[in-house]
Amino acid sequence: MPEGAVPSSKLPDKLYFKVGEVSNIADVPAYVLRFWETEFSRIKPKRTPAGQRLYRKKDVELILEIKHLLYDRKFTIPGARQHLRSGRQKESEPPAAITLAEIRQELESIQKMLS
């Protein structure tokens, strides 16, 4: 794993990440993340009313996987897309349970970002 990049198992426990945070976690510039959004349809950040991207934890994990495929394993973008398509069995895992308190805390955090 490249210096400075965070393993997906060590991601902060939060629901949404700003583009700058994801850029730091993945150790790639924000423009690369925006480009990958156009190339990998599974990266779908939410948008605030102001248009700011908010990535979910699963988006960040996917971005880290894409970076690994492109930078470490030297896949081409079409090759990485095909590899990800062939590995969709992982998506059948049940979603993690989120408590009401966690949702409330995350909503308050988003509200503070927007104000």
pTM for the whole structure = 0.68
- In DSSP terms, 16 is beta-bridged to 56
In the chain, where are the structural domains located? 8-114
The structure tokens listed for 83 are 């590899």
Residue 82 phi/psi, 5° resolution?
A: -65, -40
Topology (CATH level 3) of domain 8-114: Multidrug-efflux Transporter Regulator; Chain: A; Domain 2 (1.10.1660)
Q: Would you say 18 and 54 are in contact if contact means Cβ atoms under 8 Å apart? A: yes
Q: Which of 42, 23, 41 is nearest to 33 (CA)?
A: 23
Q: What pLDDT is recorded for position 16?
A: 92
Which residues are CB-contacts of 17 (< 8 A; sequence separation ≥ 6)? 25, 54, 55, 56, 57, 59, 60
Note the pLDDT tens digit of each residue in 17-54: 999 999 999 999 999 999 999 999 999 999 989 999 99
